[in-house]
Structure 1
Amino acid sequence: MTLSTEELTKKATQARRQIIETVHYAGAGHVGGPMSAIDLLIYLYFKEMNIDPSNPRGEDRDRFVLSKGHSAIGLYSVLALRGFMPVEELKTFDALNSRLQAHPDMNTLPGLDMSTGSLGQGISAAVGIALGAKLQKKYFRTYCIIGDGESQEGQVWEAADIAPKYKLDNLVVILDYNKLQQFGWNAEEGNRKIPVNEPQTRWEAFGWNVITIDGHNFNEIEAAFKLAKEVKGKPTIIIANTVKGKGVSFMENEFLWHSRVPTDEELHDALTELSVEG
């Protein structure tokens, strides 16, 4: 699709409103992580990936894996806006027998390429998908969003180690680097430590092409994905500097909003802010 930066920004605001409304309605769900990743998801589904909502299992479609599966409501919001399902279905989030469970289930919802939720495992699936494409001489690309908190899992680094060996230049991983996981660790003077330090140096050491951007700037996001397509012989990781809870001032950079449900008053205040921004 061809969308302007202004149009992408409006879509992102819509998605953020849907996240907050849905979590409030369901009485459960994550807020902070989905809000930090939403600009990346919007760009992927509305501009970057070769996908067709009318043919969600198309053989030559690009693949996407949300490794940080607890941010599923962010993905569902974007899928609904993109036409993979009715927006009204978001009200069934986390309900019994709903297609929209707290973590993505590829067996129930069209448009999902991997069931995720066990942190650290999604990137391994993405590596496998990209390798499968190479072996079958397919030309689709595979994208995967990982969290910085989940990057403490050893399986992430096992996947990081193997991808360059097979020269998976059809794989792009995006690190949602919001620097704030669910609780963090206690540190001197009550400060919370960043989950992953110096990610650029680490990923370069594993042999990846590394691009660092502002994960809320659509111009930088677009430039990064264009650069990734030009790289041959190695996978790319885009380190997207983001803000947890992005879009609502009282949620931003506040770890308590990792999975807190907004009150009626907080919902009103959040939607008011987002309507101004949109």
Structure 2
Amino acid sequence: MADTQHLKDLVTQVRRDIVRQVHAVSSGHPGGSLGCTEFLVTLYNEVMDHDPSFNMDGINEDLFFLSNGHISPVFYSVLARAGYFPVSELSTFRKLNTRLQGHPTTHEGLPGVRIASGSLGQGMSVAIGAAQVKKLNGDDKTVFTLHGDGELQEGQIWEAAMYASANKVDNLISTIDVNGQQIDGSTEQVLALGDLRNKFEAFGWDVITVQKGNDVDAIITGMKEAMNLTRKGKPVCILLHTEMGNGIDFMMGSHAWHGIAPNDEQLAEALRQNPETLGDY
């Protein structure tokens, strides 16, 4: 078990990384990145069995696929601080000839990135393929995915969900970031999602709800519960209720921060609210 306070310190540092990355190039997606910080920090530092030396095949290790690739700032920060590549490389985010593109890509050869993502709706399909390969190879590790709730408006998600249950892909845990916001407004206004628990259960999934999706301890509890449901004939869905922009008061709860960068004054305030804990890049 990792020390919970260390995880919380890492969360604060990753928040600093996120806002500094997007501010430096005046572009990027801070809102969803901040909302998923606790989840990805916990996943990579408490839950998954993974190897930062990185082999694309990922044999005998847990795999993670980021489907909503626009939250690359948090993904890059967590990967770097987990040892996949130098933390100093975060300073190259979205710059020319960088490996840290605005949306993760594989042709850049960035350790930790197994698929290009950004075109929403595709990550679950890829993860299902990887999970089935593990089953065929006798590899008992788990495949994890993360999706935005707005992403569930993509039809491919539901085709994949139907396939996963029909084929008993029970080594898959897909987490939905339920923050109720997307680029054009609230999910309720853009295209209401209805009862997600009932939907996934109707598609043959086991479902876990984590109401405090920005609380490290609650995430650990929920992930343990999800892991205990794997290998029982059904894929597992976690409904993770988060706050967009979490940890920075003027960004929280608004779709406006989906894809804009803070100015100099806003950056200073964001950093004031999240004091340096483990060292800036």
TM > 0.5 fold call? yes
> Does 2:201 correspond to 1:200?
no
Between stretches 53-62 and 195-204, larger displacement belongs to 53-62
Aligned residue in 2 for 1:52 = 51
Greater mean deviation of Cα atoms: 194-203 or 14-23: 194-203
Q: Distance in 2 between matches of 1:92 and 1:17?
A: 15
Counterpart Cα distance in 2 of 1:124 and 1:212: 22
Alignment of 1:1-278 (within 5 A): 2-57=1-56, 58-107=58-107, 108-184=109-185, 192=189, 195-213=192-210, 214-231=212-229, 232-275=232-275
| Contact 1:131-1:166 at 8 Å conserved across structures | no
Structure 2: give runs of 5+ residues left out of the alignment: none
Deviations 1:220-242 (A, max 9, x none): 21122212222211111110000
2: distance between equivalents of 1:204 and 1:141?
Answer: 20
**Deviation (angstroms), 1:142:** 0.4
Name the CA distance, whole Å, in 1 between partners of 2:192 and 2:20: 29
- Residue 208 of structure 2 aligns to a residue whose secondary structure is strand
Question: Given the superposition, is the C-alpha separation of residues 186 and 61 from structure 1 closer, same or farther in structure 2, using an over 3 Å criterion?
Answer: closer
Structure number with the bigger relative contact order (C-alpha 8 A, sep ≥ 6) is 2
SS at match of 2:260: coil
Q: Please state whether the residue corresponding to 1:101 is helix, strand or coil.
A: coil
| CA RMSD of superposed structures (Å) | 1.9
The CA distance in 1 between the partners of 2:153 and 2:89, in whole Å, is 34
Name the SS for the 1:89 alignment partner.
Answer: helix
**1:197 positional shift:** 2.4
The CA deviation string for residues 185-228 of structure 1, in whole angstroms up to 9 with x for no partner, is: 799xxxx4675221111111101110000211222211222122
CA contact (8 A) 2:54 2:84 kept: no
Distance in 2 (alpha carbons) for counterparts of 1:277 and 1:244: 22
Letter in 2 for 1:49: M
Identity %: 41
Alignment partners' CA distance in 1, 2:187 and 2:238: 29
Normalising by structure 1, we get a TM-score of: 0.93
CA 35–195 in structure 1, closer or farther in 2 if over 3 Å, else same: farther
